[in-house]
Structure 1
Amino acid sequence: MNQVIGVSYVAPYVVTGKYISHRKHTCYGLTLTKADNGLDQFQTCVSQSLQDATAMVALRSVIARFRPDIVVTGTSIRTKVEHTIWAVAQKLDIRTFAMIDGWAKISDRFPQKLSTRAMPYRVGVVDQQPCGVGARQVPHAQRK
């Protein structure tokens, strides 16, 4: 909410740009433009660490509210979404199950060099082909 001389008002802004800044810290930003005046713009930026912390709090709140017996996820490539979900579930003592829907780029789904990332309790595959690949490339995989 904006204020002019003590009087509150709401000014509608629209997102007119997105950017990522790689300086001292990675920053995810938006350019906001006032709906009725294209010259009235400002930029806002959220650091990677704040964005990650916000995601953890939001996910923890949702998972804690539902208290599932198990959380089932996918295994996206080059993203921390699933790893964040697995970490939140682990902290709440909830088991996780990650499905690998394809055998390509297994090492990108479970990066071994990032040992600080959480891993799922169990990993499943949609067919037998990725099973052997996954058991060799997922750091803690147990083949059954």
Structure 2
Amino acid sequence: MDKFRVLFVTGTCAAIFAIAFSWGVPTHCVQLPNGMNIGKQALIDLNRPYFIPDIVPKFRNGRSLLPGDAWPFFTTETTVHGLALETDPEDDFWFAWREDTGLVLKKENLSLYETLVSEAGAPMGNKGINVVGSHIVMMELQRRPEYANQTCRTRWMTIGTGNL
């Protein structure tokens, strides 16, 4: 009976830890009106120097839209778009995301990409500068009262591209 109790307690603790690990933790972020968030990709990114995670656009469930940083990065009331940076610069790609269309890559669907970017509207948080990254956009938006002190779900750890 004691062996069963030890196994039950160990199994329960492991299940709670697994749920907490996959669920993530709340961290500072910006919740955008277009349905996307800007925040840390994870608390620890094992694929980056010093394990410091990128600031990325991500869904409400904490899953990243991109494998890493975006530069330039634009967000509007309806759309998120820019250049997603990969480890190898030859693999970088232009993207646009809108809730009704999802992620659209310029190289795969040029006409839809151009339509989304042209209909996007004025950039938020770019301070009138066209070449800023997601870190700067997040920092600028957090200075506005409507975006200050917001939190989002963030994964504990990312290994590789975070299962994108």
TM-score, length of structure 2 as denominator length? 0.26
Which structure has more strand as a fraction of its residues?
A: 1
TM-score by length of 1: 0.29
Tell me which of the two structures has the higher relative contact order, counting C-alpha pairs closer than 8 angstroms and 6 or more residues apart: 2
Structure of greater Rg: 1
